[in-house]
Amino acid sequence: MPEDTADPPSRGPIDTEVLDRIATHLARSDRFDDIQTQPAYAPNAVVADYDLGFYPGGVTRAYLRIRWFETDDFSIHYSEQYQTGNSWDCRWDRHPNDHNTRKHFHPPPDASTPGADTDYPDDWRDVLTTVLTDLDDRIEAFWDQ
């Protein structure tokens, strides 16, 4: 019998209402320099650029790209870009796939697949709190060295 090569189940349409709420929530934080909801280069996402004052020299950009779906699936990608041309990336995901359980984390430095199976809260606010706490720890570690 041939192997099933069908794409994994759809994540569903983008939840623009939740994306707007996420953008409003992020705008209350002094972490971010710029927040764009559905910019032309990422029409299915909120993109939040961190204030580079939180980072040591050599970091040229740090950002979150958040996609949230009407199915409550999501993808939250964090990236640090360096003057050297390298990057440090990780991603928090909840979606059907063929490489992990529905809830998983793609670890740094390259957000490799497969990731690590994990668990996330149901509410977007709690998911965002989890992610921002993890990233606050990452940023604080720069200054603890």
3-class SS letters over the chain: CCCCCCCCCCCCCECHHHHHHHHHHHHCCCCEEEEEECCCCCCCCEEEEECHHHCCCCEEEEEEEEEEECCCCEEEEEEEEECCCCEEEEEEEECCCCCCCCEEEECCCECCCCCEECCCCCCHHHHHHHHHHHHHHHHHHHHHC
Mean pLDDT of the chain, nearest integer: 89
C-alpha pair distances (Å), 26 with each of 71, 105, 123: 22, 21, 16
- 11-55 pLDDT, tens digit per residue, is 788 999 999 999 999 999 999 999 999 999 899 999 999 999 999
- 108-140 pLDDT, tens digit per residue, is 999 988 888 899 999 999 999 999 999 999 999
The residue ranking higher by pLDDT, 32 or 10, is 32
Tokens of residue 89, six digits = 């990336």
pLDDT at 90: 97
Q: At what angle do helices 124-144 and 16-27 cross, to 10 degrees?
A: 40
Does the predicted model carry a pTM greater than 0.85? yes
pLDDT at 4 over 50: no
The residue ranking higher by pLDDT, 115 or 90, is 90
Confidence band for 99, pLDDT divided at 50, 70 and 90: confident
Residue of 127, 115, 116 whose CA lies nearest to 68: 127
